[in-house]
Amino acid sequence: MGRYIDDILQPGEKVLYSTNVHWIFYLPAMAAWVVAIAFLAASRMFVTDTPMLLCLSLAAISALVALYWMLRAWFHRWTTETDVTNLRVVHKEGFIKRQTFEMSLDKVESVDVNQSILGRILNYGDVTIRGVGEGAKNISTIASPLAFRSHITAR
């Protein structure tokens, strides 16, 4: 499957900047993997069967939850694209049920960036694009939101 932006480029249109959702989406999966490893390590501390089997069962359940969260985060990152071309801003989410947002750079009124403290440290945040007569579109948890804003506003 090719990139969405490559399929919709108009003649003479060039991609100036591409970004994606931030890797922070993997954080719940990483925490669940740590819990699974902790239960696995705890199972080695018991000599009797009952506590050891309980810890191994909890480790297996935690590993399954971690695997599910990891695959869900990967799929979300894989199916989300955010691009700035020399003519417009394009955002696409979804695989089967696709939602797209396109706004001409001439119609962009303002670009707002919201970052938490952790977002500032890890370089992610939410971007709201307001268009003249087109309303506003919020793009959540993208990587490098300030660079994204700069590529929209710098003309």
Q: Write down the pLDDT at residue 34.
A: 97
- At 99-113, the pLDDT tens digits run 999 999 999 999 999
pLDDT tens-place string over residues 40-92:
999 888 878 888 999 999 999 999 999 999 999 999 999 999 999 999 999 99
Task: Please indicate whether residue 7 or residue 33 has the higher confidence score (pLDDT).
Answer: 33
| CA–CA dist 125, 22 (Å, integer) | 8
pLDDT at 135: 86
How do residues 120-140 score in pLDDT, each as one tens digit?
Answer: 999 999 999 999 987 899 999
Tell me which residue of 4, 14, 7 sits closest to 88, measured CA to CA: 14
Asked if 36 contacts 57 with a C-beta cutoff of 8 angstroms, the reply is no
Residue 1 has pLDDT above 90, yes or no: no
pTM for the full predicted model: 0.83
Mean pLDDT of 92-96: 92
